[in-house]
């Protein structure tokens, strides 16, 4: 093969590898790989931030927040238009029913009391979804997607869990578990808002 063709082939393969690497960039959070962009129902979402939820010294799960554009305040995240995603990957085995109860308590601790009556139906449905799972093992993941016009869709281990919960107030209440005034983990809150890694 002539040297010119070899150089050209090498340049093309380098370019192809570079474009593949750019399109497949990932962030490593406690050994869990999160794509820095994803497509949700035709909308490109960016990884706003990701971190680890600790309970005392134990790593419980990783969380990632995806938005249409970067936001670094709670108000910007809640007001952001378009689809959004929270992704959770377990770092230890946990009773799924217990996790559902913790999420319900997180909503109660971070939502205005005046909102609670409209959140109860969604919380009951979510609690049942987790109770049905029995156990979430290390490596298991779930997502909560906000899809405008459809609602909040919970997917556990890649399987959608029933119909979407229609009220945006419910999705925002879930977000406040992690980024509200009394978050599950303050360091995780900062990480999801892109303020630390």
Q: List pLDDT tens digits, range 70-112.
A: 999 999 999 999 999 999 999 999 999 888 889 999 999 999 8
164 three-class SS: coil
Region label for 84, one of left (φ > 0), alpha (ψ between -120 and 50) or beta (otherwise): beta
124 compared with 20, residue with greater pLDDT: 124
Average pLDDT over residues 106-123: 92
Task: Assess whether pLDDT exceeds 50 at residue 118.
Answer: yes
What fold, for 25-192?
Answer: Chalcone isomerase (3.50.70)
CB 86 within 8 A of CB 175: yes
Task: Assess whether pLDDT exceeds 90 at residue 5.
Answer: no
The domains of the chain are located at 25-192
Q: Residues 164, 169, 170, 174: is their CA dihedral positive or negative?
A: positive
DSSP string covering 43-106: EEEEEEEEEEEEETTEEEEEEEEEESS---SHHHHHH--S-EEEEEEESS-EEHHHHHHHHHHH
The whole-number pLDDT of residue 141 equals 95
Distance CA 140, CA 88 (A): 8
Q: List pLDDT tens digits, range 29-62.
A: 999 999 999 999 999 999 999 999 999 889 999 9
23 compared with 43, residue with greater pLDDT: 43
pLDDT bucket at 186, cuts 50 / 70 / 90: very high
């Amino acid at each position: 093969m002539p040297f010119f063709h070899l150089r050209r082939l090498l340049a093309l393969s380098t370019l192809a590898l570079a474009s593949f690497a750019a399109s497949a960039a990932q962030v490593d959070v406690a050994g869990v790989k999160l794509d820095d962009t994803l497509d949700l129902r035709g909308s490109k979402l960016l990884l706003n931030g990701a971190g680890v939820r600790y309970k005392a010294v134990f790593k419980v799960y990783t969380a990632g927040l995806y938005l249409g554009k970067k936001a670094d305040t709670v108000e910007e995240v809640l007001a952001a238009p378009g689809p959004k995603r929270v992704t959770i990957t377990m770092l230890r085995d946990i009773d799924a029913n217990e996790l559902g109860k913790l999420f319900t308590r997180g909503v109660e601790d971070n939502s205005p009391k005046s909102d609670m009556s409209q959140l109860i139906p969604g919380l009951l449905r979510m609690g049942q979804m987790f109770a049905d799972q029995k156990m979430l093992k290390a490596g298991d993941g779930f997502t909560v997607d906000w899809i405008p016009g459809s609602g909040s869709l919970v997917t556990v281990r890649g399987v959608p869990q029933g119909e979407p919960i229609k009220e945006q107030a419910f999705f925002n209440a879930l977000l406040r578990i992690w980024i509200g005034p009394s978050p599950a983990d303050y360091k995780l809150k900062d990480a999801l808002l892109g303020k630390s890694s």
